[in-house]
Homo-oligomer: A and B are copies of this chain.
Amino acid sequence: MEDLQIFDTFAINSKIRETYKVSFINDFDSLKSLVEKGKLVAVIDKKIAKLFPALSEILSSSRKVEIECNEQNKTIDYCQEVIRRLIEQNTRKDDTLIAIGGGITQDIVAFVSSILYRGVDWKFYPTTLLAQCDSCIGSKSSINFDQFKNLIGTFNPPSQIFINPLFLDTLSESEIRSGIGEMLHYFFTEGIDIADQISEQYESLLHDRSRLLYFIKNSLRIKKQVIEIDEFDTGYRHIFNYGHTFGHAIETITEYQIPHGQAVSIGMDIANYISLKLGMQEMESFQRCHTILRKNIPPFSLNQNNINEYLSALSRDKKNKDNRLGCILSKGPGKVEKMFLPMDDVLKQYLLDYSKEYTRSV
């Protein structure tokens, strides 16, 4: 792909809809013009509607549904409630749903638009860093089911995505850190250069959010290259589980107190440490990555009190095979590889040793 500094729009090839476009914008002109054309129903995160009166003003003449976006609402039951309200708004098969919000808004609207009338068109204005740098492309929707996270879903990309950095200004520092963790995981699958750049600017990025755009574009560029080859996540795309297997289990045992992208940062550090111990990665390489990652790692420790719970969370990962842990390890930046690890005392000891040496306790 050409230099993303220059281009304000790029296209993703998809098996579901031949192609869909990502546009980087600075205003809401695109939304205004959609509203003027009619035929749209906005589905907007209630918090966003409140934070951006200008948005509500633009949508004042259009049909809209405000939704409560939290993890507890990422269910089929809440999606049914959204469908009910869309029908009240007289939504028809030839209408377009406009999702405005973060990853949860995306999941709900993507899922609803997959099944309502056997599919209606949708477009997306992502408002969080995580949604802008990662989830907005890639086609997946994820819905929780009973105690199972993301058990339900479809592949259904929006027909268009509009990324407006204006939304980043209202995010908390914690949300920025989370987005940085997710971006780092893309950068490390390619090499170390962009990870180094983000590390150098780490503190200023927390405050000067306009600088994030360069990294968002690079994150999407890397993801695009992989999802265009393996949209349905059957093989090659698994490399993006890097940091996620070990990260998800951290989210589980801390009851999601650690933001996703930061848990992924710990997850990458753990994957690198295990790779080091297995002789796949040199100490120098581990240390270079650790120096970058530790800036984004919050206080956390694995110890005798929680290690068994952590191993138990790992053992429930749906990518496991024959009781072996399916995860992505690394031979160094740009060289990640899928592995299946025996879940034995050796692994347990590696995890305890890692934490003792490299994490700070709460």
Contact = CB atoms under 8 A, between A and B. Distances in A.
Interface of A: 76, 80, 83-84, 87, 92-93, 111, 114-119, 140-141, 143, 145-146, 148, 151-155, 232-233, 318
Nearest to A116: B152
16 contacts: A76-B80, A80-B145, A83-B145, A83-B152, A84-B146, A111-B115, A114-B115, A114-B154, A115-B115, A115-B143, A115-B154, A118-B140, A118-B153, A118-B232, A119-B232, A154-B154
Chain multiplicity (copies): 2
Given A76-B76, A80-B76, A80-B145, A118 B154 contact: yes
A346 B151 CA distance: 53
A224 B144 CA distance: 37
Contacts of A148: 87
Given A84-B146, A146-B84, A117 B151 contact: yes
B118 A155 contact: yes
Nearest to A75: B80
A15 B279 CA distance: 45
A118 B233 CA distance: 10
A85 to B, nearest CB: 12
A114 B76 CA distance: 14
Given A76-B76, A318-B93, A155 B83 contact: no
Contacts of A151: 83, 87, 116-117
